[in-house]
Chains A and B, each alone.
Chain A
Amino acid sequence: MADLTEELEDESSEEGESMTAAEVLQKLEEAWLNEKFSPDLLEIKNDIVDCMLEQIKEMEENIRRAKKGDFRVGIHKMEIDRIRYFISSYLRTRLQKIEKYTAHVLEQEKARGSDETPQMSPDEYTFAKEYSENMENHFKVLALRHMPPNLQALDPKHTVMRPNLDSYVFLRVNEDTAGVLVEEETAEAGEEVIDLEKGDQLIIRYRPVATLVESGAVGLI
């Protein structure tokens, strides 16, 4: 299938270093797997999503121009379905996390410095805000405003749901990384530090490797 996607190489890439469509698709697959298996909401890969949607549009255009009965049409359509599945599943997974941890992701967005990249796309942010308002309003109208005055507020200490960063994940190492602090020093045991070698696969607590997932040094599987 490589030759098919290559001929549809993405020329509009603004990154300078132009990536082939196959490479972008590869990136999308990685982002999808990471998002699927990480407990936390990761940074949105908006350019990849937009680029692949653009790709689909071009492929559909090509199909429209193709001669009837061209055997490649079926393969192209299949490829479109596959790409669309990756994008949908990726965004759907993110939306589920946003709905579950709404207050938490909004809190983080608020605390973000102006030089840091946001976790959510602007449209995801709008969705999160509307979702949170809708939920709070629901609580208020049906319950909170009928309660005694000192109980009418939601106590964020109890009600804000946060992802469990200490859950375990499977990962594959993409780049050699030395000196990962896995376990802080405790009264009973010393600290535990490991070196990751490219190609290694392991099960590990998410928290110590969270930054490596974002940077791409490891990928979740």
Chain B
Amino acid sequence: MFGEKALELIKELQRCLDGSLPPFNEEGVRQVLEEMKALFEQNQGDVSATVAGETGLFAGVQLRHAALERNKRCLLAYLYNRIQQIKKMRWEFGSVLPQDIRYNLSEQEVQWFNRYNKCLANYMRSIGEDGGLDLTQDIKPPKTLYIEVRCTTDHGEFETQDGNVLVLKKNSQHFLLRSECEHLIRQGILEHIVH
């Protein structure tokens, strides 16, 4: 049946809804476009034949056209849903993606990501009168000013707002301003300890 390759692309995404992103399936996309090209050419042939006087070709043209629309929808949905994942990564990993994830993006997706980064940064910088506001912070309502954290890896030196420098060593525990270490927790470098 027509549209099966396109459906394969969609099913590939369905299997990976846990937040992972499979490599961009360039070959799959190419095959769908190929099927579309063939369908279109056959339709063109039937249309010219009809103009030349042949009859009874209408039903076939309709059927192929439906297949063309279906392929288009699947292809766009494939691109769209990948972008949704990539966008989510901007908010969870930050503006630089881990190398192995980046590797699964197509060239064009990397460009999309960079443009998104830029227009998000421009927007966030524009908030308020001066300096803007980082919307990727303050994800949860604050309960206390300081929180206790444990380091999960050796991260190196960290300068606090009041100018103190501390070394974030694996398994060391610290008492920090919530607002200045939230992003390190989200990136998995620190762990919030709640008693």
Distance of A78 Cα from B39 Cα, bound (Å):
64
B129 located at the interface, meaning its Cβ lies under 8 Å from any Cβ of chain A in the complex: yes
Distance of A131 Cα from B87 Cα, bound (Å):
11
Q: Chain B residues with Cβ under 8 A from A151's Cβ?
A: 36, 40, 68-69, 72
B106 located at the interface, meaning its Cβ lies under 8 Å from any Cβ of chain A in the complex: yes
| Other-chain contact of A143, B29, B37, B68 (Cβ < 8 Å) | B29
| Other-chain contact of B115, A49, A78, A130 (Cβ < 8 Å) | A130
Q: Chain A residues with Cβ under 8 A from B33's Cβ?
A: 143, 146-147
CB distance from A129 to the nearest CB of B (A): 9
Q: Are B75 and A81 within 8 A (Cβ)?
A: no
Interface residue ranges of B12-41 to A (CB < 8 Å): 29, 33, 36-37, 39-40
CB distance from B27 to the nearest CB of A (A): 14
| Other-chain contact of A138, B112, B135, B137 (Cβ < 8 Å) | B112
Interface residue ranges of A66-111 to B (CB < 8 Å): 74, 77-78, 81-82, 84-85, 87-89, 91-92, 95, 99
Q: Chain A residues with Cβ under 8 A from B103's Cβ?
A: none
B145 located at the interface, meaning its Cβ lies under 8 Å from any Cβ of chain A in the complex: yes
Give the residue name and chain of the B residue nearest to A88 (CB). Answer: B138
Q: Chain B residues with Cβ under 8 A from A159's Cβ?
A: 76
Distance of A143 Cα from B106 Cα, bound (Å):
13
A127 located at the interface, meaning its Cβ lies under 8 Å from any Cβ of chain B in the complex: yes
A54 located at the interface, meaning its Cβ lies under 8 Å from any Cβ of chain B in the complex: yes
Q: Chain B residues with Cβ under 8 A from A57's Cβ?
A: 129-130
Q: Are A92 and B135 within 8 A (Cβ)?
A: yes
Give the residue name and chain of the B residue nearest to A85 (CB). Answer: B138
Does more than half of chain A's interface fall in helix, strand or loop, or is it mixed?
helix
Q: Are A87 and B133 within 8 A (Cβ)?
A: yes
Q: Are A135 and B128 within 8 A (Cβ)?
A: no
Interface residue ranges of B117-142 to A (CB < 8 Å): 119-120, 122-123, 126-130, 133-135, 137-138, 140-142
Given contacts A95-B135, A134-B116, A147-B33, contact A139 B123 (CB under 8 A): no
Q: Are A81 and B145 within 8 A (Cβ)?
A: yes
B179 located at the interface, meaning its Cβ lies under 8 Å from any Cβ of chain A in the complex: yes
With contacts A78-B142, A127-B122, A138-B108 known, what are 13 further pairs, Cβ within 8 A? A53-B127, A53-B128, A53-B129, A78-B144, A88-B134, A88-B137, A126-B126, A139-B80, A148-B68, A150-B40, A151-B36, A151-B69, A151-B72
| Complex A-B: 6 CB contacts under 8 Å | A49-B127, A99-B87, A130-B122, A131-B119, A134-B115, A147-B72
Binding site for A on B (CB under 8 A): 29, 33, 36-37, 39-40, 68-69, 72-73, 75-76, 79-80, 83, 87, 106, 108-109, 112, 115-116, 119-120, 122-123, 126-130, 133-135, 137-138, 140-142, 144-145, 177-179
Binding site for B on A (CB under 8 A): 49-50, 53-54, 57, 74, 77-78, 81-82, 84-85, 87-89, 91-92, 95, 99, 123-124, 126-127, 130-131, 134-135, 138-139, 141-143, 146-148, 150-151, 154, 158-159
